[in-house]
Amino acid sequence: MERRQGGREGQGLTLRALAALTTACIALSGGAAFAGCDGLVDVGGYSLWAKTQGSGPVTVAFEAGGGATSAAWSEVEPQVRALGVTTLLYDRSGLGQSQLAPTPYSIEQETKALAAVLDRCGVQGARILVGHSYGGYIVERLAARDAKVKGLVLVDANLPRLIDAAWAARIQARYRPQYGELKAKAPNLAKALIPMMEAYADTAGAMRDVALPAALPVVDIVAERSWNETPAEGEAMRAAHKAFVAQSPNRRSVLATGSGHNVMQDRPDVVVEAIKNALLETD
């Protein structure tokens, strides 16, 4: 089912909805203790920057896209924290304040790193994962194997079967001419981003075998103007999102009208509303 979010009229919660949300959060928590973190967290041979805020029993963890940092969620995170949940922001390997992993890049390493951050920060109870763009790959992989993940919000995200080998090769061909300039202007970012891009075909291949639990509530936000370079790619993306949502009655599609690829910046209200719904729909 597709919902259009064309305005901000749905941003507020009624008292009844707020009560339901609070009840859902308490039910999800299972009474788990929470330690929290604020700074560098050892994930096995290197450290990632992570910060938890809030004191709610459910943790909403945010995963940024591509070469972005946790700052991408600056408009969304405070609003989500105000719902009575704990939030977790972190920077992936080599990004923001995080150290670069000493081993060759792989999507599996990224997934294990997120799992380690959640563990080191003491997140023992239920968690909702929110992933943007390439970050969708990471939250999807973790959600497929972690029973503590009780909901998924995808923000114009890559889907498990979206990109095939040919499409991955086209993406690499677009980015490779930019490597020289990236190394000159942002050498530290280049050390993180270039290996990710060079592994893109392997990553896309690995993602095609990822299967999310059919019972997992998923809100799939699709931007009105996404990152596709050609009309054919746009058609393929829309078809992939439609097919993904159709695979389970627990998946819902939301069109972020008026938004570009960075929905959390263009339409933060849509993302916050989707997280509210994920919390309410999770049992």
DSSP 202-247: HHHHHHTT----TTS-EEEEEESS-S-SSHHHHHHHHHHHHHHHHT
**Side-chain-side CA neighbours of residue 89 (13 Å):** 21
Backbone angles phi, psi at 42, to 5 degrees: -70, 125
CB 128 within 8 A of CB 59: yes
Query: 247, 206, 232, 38: which is closest to 108 by C-alpha?
Result: 206
- Residue 150's pLDDT is 96
Q: Identify the structural domains of the chain with CATH numbers, from first to last.
A: 2-164+211-281 (3.40.50.1820)
Longest dimension (CA), the chain: 55
Distance between CA atoms of residues 237 and 241, nearest Å: 6
Distance between CA atoms of residues 9 and 124, nearest Å: 35
Distance between CA atoms of residues 276 and 278, nearest Å: 5
- Residue 283's pLDDT is 54
Distance between CA atoms of residues 278 and 127, nearest Å: 11
Each residue's pLDDT tens digit in the chain (283 positions)? 444 444 333 333 333 443 344 444 444 444 444 468 999 999 999 999 999 999 888 999 999 999 999 999 999 999 999 999 999 999 999 999 999 999 999 999 999 999 999 999 999 889 999 999 999 999 999 999 999 999 999 999 999 999 999 999 999 999 999 999 999 999 999 999 999 999 999 999 999 999 999 999 999 999 999 998 889 889 999 999 999 999 999 999 999 999 999 999 999 999 999 999 999 886 5
Q: Which amino acid is at 238?
A: R
- pTM here is 0.87
- Residue 180's pLDDT is 98
- Residue 281's pLDDT is 80
- Residue 124's pLDDT is 85
Residues 6+ apart with CB under 8 A from 129: 60, 61, 63, 139, 142, 143, 149, 151, 152, 153
Q: How far is CA 115 from CA 59, 92, 143, 149, 166, in A?
A: 13, 12, 10, 11, 30
